[in-house]
A and B are shown apart, each in its own frame.
Chain A
Amino acid sequence: MSGFISTTPAERDAMLSRIGVSTIDQLFEDLPAEHYRPDLDLPPGLSELETWQLLRKLSETNLDLERHPNFLGAGAYRHFVPAAIGHLISRGEFLTSYTPYQPEVSQGTLQAVYEWQSIVCALTGMDISNASVYDAGTGTGEAARMACALTRRRRVLVLDTVNPRYREVLATYASGPDIDVETVPAFTARPDGTLGRVTDFSSKIDSSVACMIIQQPNFLGWMEQVEGLSDALSSVGAILVVIADPVSLGVIRPPGAYGAGIVVGEGKWTGGPVDFGGPLVGMFACRKDFVRQMPGRIVGSTIDGDGRKGYVLTLATREQHIRREKATSNICTAEALIALATTIYFCHLGPVGLREVAEQSIQKAHYLASRISQVPGYTVQSTAPWLYEFPIHCPKPAAQVNEALLAAGIIGGYDLGLEDPALAHSLLLCCTEVTPRSDIDRLVDVLGSL
C-alpha cells in the first residue's frame, strides 16, 4: 500500500536537496515565466454551491430529448435505456478497466467482450465479430480498406443513400491508401414529389470493384433491394458490405442471409442516451475466411494449462504492432464500455424484446405517415418498403418548418436540404418505441397549421 501514498514534505525536501535545488519552481526556471505561470485572468473562484447554480442555469438553456417531442433521427436515435445498464457499467471493474493484455487478471472484461462478439454475430448472421471499432462511420472506412486488401483492388462503390457522415469518414479513410471511392445514385426524384428507389446497379459492377457498400435500412429510412445484389458482386469477386441498424435486425433478415461479406453498424443507440452524439460503438463482423484482414481486437475462447475455459485476445499478428505497414488498420483499441452497455441491452431485452422495440418503432412511424398523408400540402415521399424513418415533402422549406415546430416546442425532423439542395423541402422524420402517440398527433396538428 505504501507505493500509493504520496510523498511527505520532508521526503520532497530531501529529494530537492539531493539534486541541489531548494524549491520545485527552480526545476522549471528554464521555461519562460510567461509560459510557466501565465496570467490567465480568471474570475475569482466560486464555492461549490455557486458553481452548481451557475452550471445548472447553463444546462437549462439546452433543449433536450427527454422533455420535448422529438422526431429527429438521421443516424442518432432515442431509445429507452433500461436502468440496469447504467448500474452495471458503473461498476469499477468495468468502468475503469483497460485493454485486457494480461488475461490472467482480465477474464471478466474478456468474457464481456466475447459476449458482445457473439451477439453481434447472432444479429448480423456473420461468422466472426471483433471487439468493436469506434463507430459505424470509421467502421465503414475500415470495411472498405479490408475489402481492398482482400480483393487486391482499389475501387469501392458506395450508394448515396448511405449516411452522408459515414461517407465523409469513408473518404478520409480512402485518401491515404489511394482507394477510389465512387458514389452511386440510389434514389430518383419523381415529378409527383415522391422519391423512387434505384435497384439496378449492374452497370457499375465489374472486376475492378473491391466492394459495394449499402446501408440497410438506408439514410432515408427505406429498404434497399438486396435480391441478387451479392450474387452480382461475387460473380466478379467483389464483396457486399452492409451497414446495419441493430434495432432493425430484430425484424428483418440479417445481412449474412443475403450474402454480405462484411457488416458494420452503430451500436450506441441500443445502450445509451443520445447525449451529444457520443461516445459511440461500431459493430464490425465478417465471414470466417476474411478474418485475417479484419481490423481491431478479437477475443477468443480457449483452454488454459489446467483445462479450464478462458478468454484471450487472439489473432494478434493481424495487428499493426506486429504487421506494421502491412496491417489492414492501425486501430488498437475498442469501445468496450459502450459495447458492454449495448450487450446488456440485448441480454435484457432478448430477441423477443428487440423485436417489440422494432415493431413499435415501425408502427408509430407508419401511423405518423398515414396521418401526415391526410394533411393538405404534405406528401410522404417513400415509395419503397420502409421501417421507422421517412422523408416528407413540405409546402415550405424544411428549415422553416423546423423553426415553426421549435417555436411550438417540438424538435422536428432532419432537413434533407442540408445534404442536397434539391431536397430543401424534404424533412426526414423518425419515430421510435419511446415516441408517444400524443406527440405524433401534436406534430400533425402543428404541421397542418403552418
Chain B
Amino acid sequence: MSNPTDCRYTREHEWVRKDGDTYVVGITHYAQDSLGDVVFVELPEVGAAISRGASFGVVESVKAASDLYAPVSGEIVEVNERLRDEPDLVNHHPYEAGWMLRVKVSADSSLDDLMDADAYAAFLETVH
C-alpha cells in the first residue's frame, strides 16, 4: 500500500491530513502491519487538548500496546466512535475508515516540518 500524498507523516508512524478547518489523525499502514490485529484503541475525550509529540492514547494488538503520539497541537473535536466496536478498521483502512482523531489546531504552520509521502517512504527504508 503506498502512502497517500495528501497526508503528512511522523517518525512515530502517525499521519495527519487537513480536512476543511480541522485535521484528521491516524496511524500508517506500516504501523498497523507491525502491530498485527488491532483489538482495542484507547482514545482521549472530545474537548481534550493534545500537544504535539505527547502521547494521546494507546493502540493495542494481540501482542503489544503502543502509545499514539500527537502530530499536531490543538483541541479534539471528534474521535472515531466506530473503533470502539470495530478496531480492525485500523488494520484494513488505516487512512480512511480507521481514522482516530479530528483536531482543531492552534497554528497552521505546524505541518510543514512533518514528512511528506516521499520522505516517509524514504524514512521507512531506514527502519526496515
Contact = CB atoms under 8 A, between A and B. Distances in A.
A322 B59 CA distance: 12
A323 interface: yes
B18 to A, nearest CB: 29
Contacts of B64: 317, 322
Interface bin, chain B: 10 to 19
Contacts of A322: 63-65
- Best-buried of A152, A292, A317 by chain B (most CB within 10 Å): A317
A323 B63 CA distance: 11
A322 B42 CA distance: 15
Interface in B47-96: 58, 60-65, 67
B40 A326 contact: no
Contact of B61 (A152, A317, A326): A317
Contact of B39 (A152, A317, A326): A317
Interface string A281-306: 00000000000100000000000000
A292 B84 CA distance: 12
A292 B57 CA distance: 14
Contacts of A317: 39-40, 60-65
Contacts of A152: 45
A152 B45 CA distance: 10
A323 B64 CA distance: 8
Interface string A252-292: 00000000000000000000000000000000000000001
A323 B65 contact: yes
A436 B48 CA distance: 62
B35 to A, nearest CB: 11
Interface string A145-172: 0000000100000000000000000000
A2 to B, nearest CB: 37
A326 B64 CA distance: 12
Interface residues of A, number: 6
Contacts of A323: 58, 65
A317 B66 CA distance: 10
Nearest to B67: A326
A152 B40 CA distance: 18
Contacts of B67: 326
A385 to B, nearest CB: 41
A449 B61 CA distance: 69
A65 to B, nearest CB: 47
A96 B63 CA distance: 28
Interface in A378-426: none
A152 B64 CA distance: 23
A282 B65 CA distance: 27
A326 B61 CA distance: 15
- Best-buried of B45, B60, B67 by chain A (most CB within 10 Å): B60
Interface string A306-348: 0000000000010000110010000000000000000000000
A313 to B, nearest CB: 12
A323 B42 CA distance: 12
A186 B39 CA distance: 42
Contacts of B60: 292, 317
A325 to B, nearest CB: 11
Contacts of B42: 292
A254 B45 CA distance: 33
B40 A292 contact: yes
Nearest to B60: A317
A393 to B, nearest CB: 51
Interface string A354-379: 00000000000000000000000000
Nearest to A314: B62
Nearest to B59: A317
Contacts of A326: 58, 65, 67
A112 to B, nearest CB: 24
A383 B60 CA distance: 51
Nearest to B39: A317
B47 to A, nearest CB: 12
B20 to A, nearest CB: 29
A333 to B, nearest CB: 20
A322 B40 CA distance: 14
Interface of A: 152, 292, 317, 322-323, 326
20 contacts: A152-B45, A292-B40, A292-B42, A292-B60, A317-B39, A317-B40, A317-B60, A317-B61, A317-B62, A317-B63, A317-B64, A317-B65, A322-B63, A322-B64, A322-B65, A323-B58, A323-B65, A326-B58, A326-B65, A326-B67
A-B pairs with lowest CB-CB distance, top 9: A317-B60, A317-B65, A323-B65, A322-B65, A292-B40, A326-B58, A322-B64, A317-B64, A326-B65
Given A152-B45, A322-B63, A323-B58, 17 more contacts: A292-B40, A292-B42, A292-B60, A317-B39, A317-B40, A317-B60, A317-B61, A317-B62, A317-B63, A317-B64, A317-B65, A322-B64, A322-B65, A323-B65, A326-B58, A326-B65, A326-B67
